[in-house]
Amino acid sequence: MESDEENIVRKENKTGLREIKKETKGLLQEVKEENSGLLRKIKSEKLEEKSFIKYMIVSFVAVVEDFTRIEVDGLILQTQNSRAMIRRAQKCTS
């Protein structure tokens, strides 16, 4: 049979393990929450970046369209190259 001292040590070990598990579980939860917050922040920043890039492309297209249009006797003419460039830029934004 086990001695009383061995039983006490075993109970203390079990109690210690439970406390360690609880603490580890709590720390793990904190890390998960922090990671989740960081991921949301990164996704938000990427969306903002994409929106800015799209805005810049649309602005560029508007400038190119204005720059490449030539009005002759009330008709607006546009070169073939500029139309192709505008189409490529518009595809990037869609």
Q: What is the pLDDT of residues 27-54, one digit of tens each?
A: 889 988 998 888 888 888 888 888 888 8
* Number of independent structural domains in the chain: 1
Tell me if 85 sits within 8 A of 67, measured CB to CB: no
Average pLDDT, the chain: 76
Domain residues for the domain of 52 are 4-93
Residue 68 has, within 13 A of its CA and on its CB side, a CA count of: 15
Cα dihedral across residues 18, 21, 23, 25: positive or negative: negative
pLDDT band for position 68 (cuts 50, 70, 90)? low
Is this model's pTM higher than 0.95 or not? Answer: no
The first and second tokens of residue 5, run together, are: 């001292």
